[in-house]
Amino acid sequence: MLEGLKERTCRYVQGFINARILLEAVKRAGDDLTREQIKEELEKLEEFDTGASYSRVTYTERLHKPSSSLKLYSIANGKLVPLTTMMISIEQKIWTEL
């Protein structure tokens, strides 16, 4: 763990996922790294696999919410073990299994 970091919260995972999404848009923008081009590339992401316990991410011109579902894991003997099936957030931010 990073020095001074006592635990990894959901914000740690969200940061990783956000960085992965932004990196993909930057890669797709190529040498034309303008704000507009990066936004345009983000809005082309469809069913992008972040490599995390998150559902695939799709952005559009009108939808900038990457996902409302996730899967919980535990680490046992150095391996990821699923604790749940894919879960989806509802209005009150209560998670329910799909």
- Name the token pair of 95: 């998670």
2-59 pLDDT, tens digit each: 566 566 556 666 777 888 889 999 999 999 799 999 999 999 988 888 776 566 788 8
47-67 pLDDT, tens digit each: 888 776 566 788 888 877 766
Beta strands in the chain (DSSP E): 69-70, 73-76, 79-82, 87-89, 95-97
Domain positions in the chain are: 7-64, 68-98
Whole-prediction pTM: 0.62
